[in-house]
Amino acid sequence: MANKKFDTQVQLLKYKVLKEVSALSFSDELLENIIDIPEKIIPGRKATTRCCVYKERAIVNERVKLALGGNKANPNVIEVINIACDECPVVGYEITQACRGCLAHRCQQACPKDAIYFDHNHHAHIDKSRCIECGACASVCPYTAIINLKKPCQNACKVKAISMDENKAAVIDNSKCTSCGACVYQCPFGAIMDKSYILNVIDLIKKSEGNSKYKVYAMVAPSISSQFSYAKIEQVVSGIKKLGFYSIIEAALGADMTSLEESKELVEKGILTSSCCPAFVTMIKQNFPKISDKISETPSPMAILGSYLKKNEPGCKVVFIGPCTAKKMEALQPEVRPFVDSVITFEELQAMFDSRNIELDQLEEEFLDNASYYGRIFARTGGLSEAISEALKEQNLDSFDFKPVQADGIDECKKVAFLLSRNLLKGNYIEGMACNGGCINGAGCLTHGVKNKAGIDCYGREALEKKITDATFIL
């Protein structure tokens, strides 16, 4: 398995665990062989990154547990592997060599706890037993010699859901976490991971074998077109069917459905925030409850299309495949659970392909065309606003003065939500995307980067249906 399919070695290790679990589950050999997975993945006597091979294998064992569904007592899909969270340096405010030993001593004067002292060379130091991490010293240093060192997971978490325990290991506050997965992707040691429901999905597929009445649909997010770059999207579709899915349907069709309904809701209410990104919706509910009534009541593309499938194919099963860890949380919500049976990411899909020895670039091409151009571009920032604008036009509602505001990334989402909560927003529709660039950079992607946007736009232009109503006319 070439690392070219992933951005980092952390993703590669995660993939190896998922692949082994998947292979053993498909062959009904999981229970007998699960104990051997750590040694198979970390062979030999020498560990590559840890102090010893035994610790490395112990960590892999924790990854196996997450691949099996994780801690059932923890409602969050994001979990910390404590034993792996010990490689980051001590964090907090530090005085660097840029300190010139100046006479002003502004840092000392600003400190409310007398935590700053000086050595014989007049170089400043911080007494960590006194420091309360207020940052007053850093704000007044004329040389910018005092820096605030944070762990990568803390830097990645823009909703401040991650803190450190007494052992300096990461702790996630579930009441603040939006399950966006930014910390999962940014942790250099893979100490934070999302739970996998890959066993769920394999179980659904196996139950459908030889049973023509048991249909398992794969609902694929449009951002899939920017992934699996070593094969054509039509070959990826063939690969998904080869796994045992009855049929593949584009979540972008759900996006078309959502844009039609959400545009009507916008005209009715006058101001709205989008519903398609579950991390954005959660962030508003947790941090800005005052504007919760502005959240669109139109179901997300995943939920609305899942509902349609269940209504028209009673008894069918629906698996969402996409880039998003927050979708795993959304699927557990009472209002969504009846319509979506499980969620896996592109990382997990790759593991399933390889566990079945499916070489995508060797497969025949199978055409997929359920959605419009506008449904497909939901995957990148700005696409949702374009779709709503088009939906207003196609439904003769374009007399409405549409003023979209695009919030790209959770930081921007917070800023825009704050403005709305203070009645200062110069717009009437917030397109909120928790991941920078949109779903194309979700935590469950194989690869991340600006190049993915071009792939999405190209994929959108390939849609036969150029209008939203062209895609949804049969519904």
Average of per-residue pLDDT across 451-473: 87
The torsion angles phi and psi of 154, rounded to 5 degrees, stand at -65, -40
The share of the chain scoring above pLDDT 70, in percent, equals 97
Residue spans in the chain of domains classed CATH 3.40.950.10: 198-472
User: Two tokens at 229?
Assistant: 């770059």
How high is the pLDDT of residue 3?
A: 47
How high is the pLDDT of residue 92?
A: 85
Name the CATH code of domain 198-472 (choices 3.30.710.10, 3.40.950.10, 3.30.360.10, 3.40.50.720). Answer: 3.40.950.10
pLDDT in tens, 289-311: 999 999 999 999 999 999 999 99
Position 2 pLDDT exceeds 50: no
Residue spans in the chain of domains classed CATH 3.30.70.20: 74-86+152-195, 92-149
**Domain 92-149 in this protein, CATH class:** alpha beta
Q: pTM to 2 decimals?
A: 0.90
How high is the pLDDT of residue 213?
A: 82
Cβ atoms 439, 465 nearer than 8 A: no
How high is the pLDDT of residue 475?
A: 62
pLDDT in tens, 96-151: 999 999 999 999 999 999 999 999 989 999 998 999 989 999 999 999 999 998 88
Going by DSSP bridges, is the β-strand pair 192-194/78-80 parallel, antiparallel, or unpaired?
A: antiparallel
Strand order in the sheet with 317-322: 247-250, 216-220, 317-322, 342-345
Residues 6 or more apart whose Cβ sits within 8 Å of residue 248: 217, 218, 219, 220, 237, 240, 241, 368
How high is the pLDDT of residue 164?
A: 85
pLDDT in tens, 188-240: 999 999 999 999 999 999 999 888 788 999 999 999 988 998 899 999 999 99
In this predicted model, which residue has the larger pLDDT, 370 or 392? 392
Position 328 pLDDT exceeds 80: yes
**Domain 74-86+152-195 in this protein, CATH class:** alpha beta
Q: What is the mean pLDDT of the chain?
A: 92
In this predicted model, which residue has the larger pLDDT, 362 or 90? 362
- DSSP, collapsed to helix, strand or coil, labels residue 458 as helix
Helix runs in 157-312, H state only: 182-186, 198-208, 233-243, 251-269, 278-287, 301-312
Position 62 pLDDT exceeds 50: yes
Cβ atoms 217, 309 nearer than 8 A: yes
Average of per-residue pLDDT across 42-59: 76
Cβ atoms 180, 435 nearer than 8 A: yes
- The DSSP H or E segment spanning 354 is helix 346-355
228: left (phi over 0), alpha (psi -120 to 50) or beta: left
Q: Among 314, 372, 369, 370, which residue's Cα sits nearest to residue 339?
A: 314
User: Two tokens at 283?
Assistant: 């962030």
Q: Among 72, 70, 54, 75, which residue's Cα sits nearest to residue 17?
A: 70
**Residue 46 pLDDT class (50, 70, 90 cuts):** low
